[in-house]
């Protein structure tokens, strides 16, 4: 096979992997939008907050240490112990559930029935609050994320040598085998499990059906005894969990730092393409965006346009979909009768 | 009534006196936002050096120092707001720590007669003091960085890099594009092949660029990155098993925060520098004694000795030395911004002076003049030792291609002068 073809396949495969990572971020948006009609601007910051909390727990960091030290003249930074990753993940999930409760109790409970734009504005405020709160709680320095479930079994880094070696013979001397990041493979598996679990939850559990009922018509759901408060806390908790997963996967690449909150930018074209209300849509949208932008960069962007076309292409593709299918590939068509 | 008035006047003078005498060095810092990890240590180093002078020496020439800090979040609009809100306090010099903010402040500060010092960033052609009278960028600028990187590669290859493939991975912004012209000119001279690989802000996704590097196997990769782009680039280089010793970042891509997330695999990564690294300088004893032990360290006090902390401290030291020079020129400790400009233009840094300040061999010797606001442009190289968790200087400060850089500076500054009706000259 020609090297050009093989490298195109490599770019395609890496686009799929990148798409999965975009989809992980988009999933959180979909969950909340589906259940409450809120476009959660704070989803990216939730990923940052979750990842910072996880690393903080792992490292035994004292929360609000800077504030405590400045106020009381102390010099505390660390409890002196390190938590096992699994325990730290469990505690972080609890924190995200508490955050969901707090968001519902102090923000959205007071905004029930308000226009969607008001709810959206509230999430912008929430994003800024959470950014500052995360900094205050855990500090602004870049933190290394090492997630290990047992001795010697951690989130992998680097290219997958097995795939590289197995495929090296497909081309000539100028082909070095397919490069696939091991972390991306893990992310893809996690995303598949997550989507399957979320779909199963929504279809086959009582709470899942209640969640869908609230999404369809929250007043009708209320009239048959579904607790709106509980469902919203449930949905924000699920979005918090998805944010934690996205924060782990992206944080393992770049270190846990403020820029994690900007990964939301990668989710927007995915949502436009896949639809705001479809969990499978987030995955398919992510894959299309990932593959599309990588192939465009490889075949057209880098050789003819000077490169760095990926962000531009993702939004252009999303814009095209908006023109021909405003609800996205899998979104529900909104028909309003007068 | 007269007595009351006299008492009030004395009280007013007494109250106003110390404020009048303060030497004000505003710190446009960013302790929040996506670049906080680099902004915090720089701001700490900048503040701690002035605190040291206040505590140990009673200020500069007997005048106390005040460092009002204003948070920019690395946002250009906020940076301009910070400038506007602090310039009335008697600001002597601004160090914006952002190329974007620097570009916005150049016309404003020039009109207000307040000098700007953009050390290792900002508008490179500001090195021409005949056009940019109030702007200084000593001791090195971006184009020195590009030339310094190539000179280092020449040294590594016995003076011949003809036919070598060099890739520039750069932040797709005005900052990241700064070295391109210089590298393209140097490409003509030295015959290497240059590949340009832009990375869009913020730089969290760089798979395409590193797959291209894996395919094309350049001999060297030079990086002009900032923030998360640095950490991701180093991790991606590790992922494709690119040899770290052939990967060189500019000085804004060479701090602890850039390499630590990649762990042990980042060992051997190199970065350019124009100042010393580490804590092995006598000044740190004084910082410990007068700043840390007295509880006056800036921030959490946990950044001392990091690359960006050293850079902030160096920036403060150069400002303080310029203020001393201004005091000597004008014969008064109470200097204003215009006098400070004179001090900056007459600044001379010698090794004896650096050693006396507790910073022997920390930075190059240089002398500023009206014609040369950019310093000598000497560039060194550091390398990350992951096991020891520290940067080591592996190449001393060496000259860059001053003929080429001088020509580029002259071209760019002439264009600026023409656009802004500036008559170049020294007066």
Band (A34; pLDDT cuts 50, 70, 90): confident
Report if residue B412 sits inside a domain.
no
Is the pLDDT confidence value at B97 over 70?
yes
Question: Could you give the residue ranges of the DSSP H alpha helices within A59-205?
Answer: 65-72, 85-106, 116-138, 161-167, 182-204
CA distance B189 to chain A (A): 23
Compute the nearest-CA separation of B108 from chain A (Å). Answer: 31
Indicate whether B424 belongs to any domain.
no
- Residues 151-190, chain B, touching A (beta carbon < 8 A): 172
Report domain extents, chain A. Answer: 3-324
Chain A contact for B307 (CB, 8 A cutoff): no
Q: What's the pLDDT score for residue A66?
A: 86
With respect to residue B410, please indicate whether it lies within any of the assigned structural domains.
Answer: no
Question: Higher pLDDT residue, B67 or B204?
Answer: B67
Domain end among B377, B393, B413: B377
Q: Tell me the per-residue pLDDT of B155-203, one tens digit each, with 9 for 90 and over.
A: 999 999 999 999 999 999 989 999 999 999 999 999 999 999 999 988 9
The verdict on B266 and B361 lying in the same domain is: no
Q: Which of B215, B238, B261 sits opposite A7 (nearest CB)?
A: B215
Q: Closest Cα partner for A307 from B90, B391, B211?
A: B211
pLDDT surpasses 80 at B9: no
* Domain with B341 in it: 2-140+278-377
Give me the pLDDT at residue A168, please.
86
> Among partner residues A69, A73, A259, which is closest to B34 by beta-carbon distance?
A259
Average pLDDT for A31-41: 88
Res B125 pLDDT > 50: yes
pLDDT of residue B18: 45
Contact list in A for residue B300 (CB cut-off 8 A) is 65-66, 69, 139
In a domain, B419, yes or no: no
Q: Using the 8-state DSSP alphabet, how is residue A148 labeled?
A: E
Mutation choice for A interface testing from B202, B207, B309 by most A CBs within 10 A: B207
Whole-structure pTM value:
0.90
**Residue B131 has what pLDDT?**
96
Per-residue model confidence (pLDDT) at position A134: 94
- The Cα of B229 is separated from the nearest Cα of chain A by a number of Å equal to 8
- Whether residue A308 and residue B200 make contact (CB cut-off 8 A), yes or no, is yes
Residue numbers of A between 70 and 129 with CB closer than 8 Å to B: 73, 77
Local confidence band at A173 (pLDDT 50, 70, 90 cut-offs):
confident
Domain match, B330 and B237 both: no
Closest CA to B214 of B234, B237, B245, B248: B237
Query: Count of residues for chain B?
Result: 427
B10 and B100 part of one domain: yes
**Res. A325 pLDDT band, cuts 50 70 90:** confident
Contact between B201 and B152 under an 8 Å Cβ cutoff? The reply is: no
| pLDDT at site A76 | 87
Instruction: Find the closest chain B residue to A258 by CA distance.
Output: B34
Report angle CA B164, B186, B139 to the nearest 5 degrees.
Answer: 120
Same domain, B34 and B126: yes
CB A287 within 8 A of CB A330: no
Q: What is the ipTM of this complex?
A: 0.89
Asked if the model's pLDDT at residue A69 lies above 90, the reply is no
A315 touches chain B (CB under 8 A): no
Residues B296 and B363 in one domain: yes
* Number of domains making up chain B: 2
Please indicate, yes or no, whether residues B111 and B257 belong to a single structural domain of this protein: no
Mean pLDDT along residues A49-53: 97
pLDDT(B330) > 90:
yes
Contacts of A145 in chain B (CB under 8 A): 261
Model pLDDT for residues B46-88, shown as the tens digit of each residue: 999 999 999 999 999 999 999 999 999 999 999 999 999 999 9
| B378-406 burial: b if 16+ Cβ within 10 Å, else e | bbbbbbbebeeebbebebebbebbbebbb
Contacts of A306 in chain B (CB under 8 A): 196, 198
Residue B203, in any domain of the structure: yes
Same domain, B391 and B354: no
Q: Tens digits of per-residue pLDDT, A90-131?
A: 999 999 999 999 999 999 989 888 888 999 999 999 999 999
Summarize pLDDT for B228-269 with one digit per residue, the tens.
999 999 999 999 999 999 999 999 999 999 999 999 999 999
* pLDDT the model gives residue A336: 63
Mean pLDDT for the stretch of residues A225-238: 91
Report, as an integer, the average pLDDT of A75-92: 92
B269 and B161 in one domain?
yes
What CATH number is associated with residue B147? Answer: 3.40.50.2300
Confidence (pLDDT) at B115: 98
Statement to judge: residues B264 and B283 lie in one domain: no
B35 to chain A: which residues are within 8 Å by CB?
258
Residue A74 CA from chain centroid, whole number: 37
Is B286 within a domain?
Answer: yes
- Give the pLDDT score at B1: 47
Does residue B8 surpass a pLDDT of 70? no
> Are B391 and B340 members of one domain?
no
Mean model confidence pLDDT for chain B: 93
Q: What is the pLDDT of residue B427?
A: 67
CB < 8 Å to B198, chain A: 306-308
Closest C-alpha to A58, from A145, A183, A153, A131? A145
Q: How confident is the model at residue A278 (pLDDT cuts 50, 70, 90)?
A: confident
User: For residue B411, is it within any domain?
Assistant: no
> pLDDT at residue A137 above 70?
yes
* Stronger pLDDT, B397 or B34, i.e. the higher one: B397
Residue of B nearest to A257 (CA): B34
Domain assignment present for B120: yes
Q: In this complex, which of A73, A179, A258 lies closest to B240 when CB atoms are compared?
A: A179
Contact: A132, B32; criterion CB under 8 Å: yes
Residue A229, pLDDT above cutoff 50: yes
Chain A residues 176-205 with a CB less than 8 Å from chain B: 176, 179, 181
Q: How far apart are CA B391 and CA B313, in angstroms?
A: 17
d(CA B172, CA B186): 21
Q: How far apart are CA A198 and CA A240, in angstroms?
A: 13
% chain A with pLDDT above 90: 58
Are the beta carbons of A142 and B198 separated by less than 8 Å?
no
Residue that wins the pLDDT comparison between A215 and A89: A89
Distance between A250 CA and the closest CA of chain B, angstroms = 8
Average pLDDT over residues A154-183: 88
């Amino acid at each position: 096979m020609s090297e050009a073809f093989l490298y195109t396949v490599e770019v395609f495969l890496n686009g799929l992997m990148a798409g999965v990572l975009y989809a992980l971020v988009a999933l959180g948006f979909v969950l909340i939008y589906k259940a409450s009609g809120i476009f959660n601007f704070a989803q990216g910051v939730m990923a940052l907050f979750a990842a910072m909390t996880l690393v903080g727990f792992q490292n035994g960091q004292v929360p609000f240490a800077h504030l405590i030290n400045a106020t009381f003249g102390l010099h505390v930074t660390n409890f002196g112990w390190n938590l096992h990753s699994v325990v730290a993940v469990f505690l972080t999930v609890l924190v995200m559930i508490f955050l969901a409760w707090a968001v519902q109790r102090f923000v959205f409970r007071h905004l029930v029935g308000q226009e969607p734009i008001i709810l959206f504005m509230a999430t912008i405020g929430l994003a800024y609050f959470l950014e500052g709160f995360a900094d205050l709680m855990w500090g602004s320095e870049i933190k290394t994320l090492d997630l290990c479930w047992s001795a010697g079994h951690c989130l992998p880094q680097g290219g997958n040598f097995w795939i590289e070696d197995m495929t090296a013979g497909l081309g000539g001397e100028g082909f070095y085998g397919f490069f696939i990041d091991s972390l991306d493979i893990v992310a893809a598996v996690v995303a598949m499990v997550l989507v399957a679990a979320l779909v199963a939850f929504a279809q086959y559990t009582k709470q899942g059906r209640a969640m869908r009922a609230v999404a369809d018509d929250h007043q009708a759901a209320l009239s048959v005894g579904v607790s709106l408060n509980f469902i919203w806390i449930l949905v924000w908790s699920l979005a918090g969990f998805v944010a934690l997963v996205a924060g782990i996967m992206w944080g393992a690449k770049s270190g846990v730092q403020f820029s994690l909150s900007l990964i939301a930018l990668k989710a927007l074209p995915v949502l436009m393409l896949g639809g705001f209300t479809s969990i499978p849509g987030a995955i398919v949208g992510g894959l299309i965006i990932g593959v599309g932008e990588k192939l465009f960069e490889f075949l057209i962007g880098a050789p003819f346009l000077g490169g760095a076309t990926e962000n531009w292409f993702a939004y252009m593709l999303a814009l095209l979909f908006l023109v021909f299918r405003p609800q996205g590939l899998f979104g529900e068509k909104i028909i309003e009768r007068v | 009534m007269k007595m009351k008035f006299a008492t009030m006047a004395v009280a007013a003078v007494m109250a106003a006196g110390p404020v009048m005498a303060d030497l004000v060095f505003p710190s446009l810092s960013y302790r929040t936002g996506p670049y906080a990890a680099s902004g915090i240590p720089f701001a700490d180093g900048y503040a701690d050096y002035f605190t040291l002078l206040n505590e140990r020496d009673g200020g500069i020439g007997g005048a106390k120092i005040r460092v009002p800090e204003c948070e920019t979040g690395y946002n250009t609009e906020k940076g301009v707001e910070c400038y506007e809100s602090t310039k009335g306090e008697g600001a002597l010099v601004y160090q914006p720590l952002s190329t974007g903010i620097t570009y916005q402040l150049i016309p404003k500060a020039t009109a207000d007669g307040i000098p700007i010092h953009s050390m290792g960033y900002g508008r490179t052609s500001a090195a021409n003091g005949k056009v940019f009278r109030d702007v200084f960028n000593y001791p090195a600028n971006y184009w020195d960085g590009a030339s310094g990187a190539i000179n280092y590669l020449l040294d590594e290859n016995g003076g011949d890099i003809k036919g070598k493939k060099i890739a520039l991975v750069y932040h797709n912004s005005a900052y990241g594009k700064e070295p391109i012209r210089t590298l393209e000119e140097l490409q003509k001279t030295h015959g290497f092949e240059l590949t340009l690989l832009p990375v869009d802000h913020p730089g969290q996704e760089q798979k395409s660029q590193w797959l291209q590097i894996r395919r094309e196997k350049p001999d060297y990769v030079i990086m002009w990155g900032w923030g998360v782009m640095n950490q991701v680039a180093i991790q991606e280089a590790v992922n494709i098993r690119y040899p770290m010793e052939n990967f060189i970042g500019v000085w804004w891509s060479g701090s602890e925060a850039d390499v630590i997330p990649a762990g042990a695999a980042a060992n051997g990564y190199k970065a350019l520098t124009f100042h010393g690294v580490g804590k092995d300088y006598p000044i740190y004893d004084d910082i410990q004694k007068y700043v840390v032990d007295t509880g006056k360290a800036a921030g959490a006090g946990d950044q001392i000795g990091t690359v960006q902390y050293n850079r902030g401290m160096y920036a403060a030291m150069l400002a303080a030395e310029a203020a001393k020079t201004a005091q000597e020129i004008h014969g008064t400790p109470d200097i204003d911004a215009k006098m400070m400009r004179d001090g900056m233009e007459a600044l001379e840094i010698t090794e004896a002076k650096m050693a006396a300040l507790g910073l022997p061999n920390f930075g190059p010797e240089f002398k500023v003049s009206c014609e040369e606001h950019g310093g000598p442009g000497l560039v060194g190289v550091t390398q990350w030792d992951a096991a020891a968790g520290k940067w080591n200087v592996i190449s001393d400060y060496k000259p860059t291609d001053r003929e080429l850089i001088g020509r580029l500076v002259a071209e760019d500054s002439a264009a600026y002068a023409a656009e802004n009706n500036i008559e170049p000259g020294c007066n």
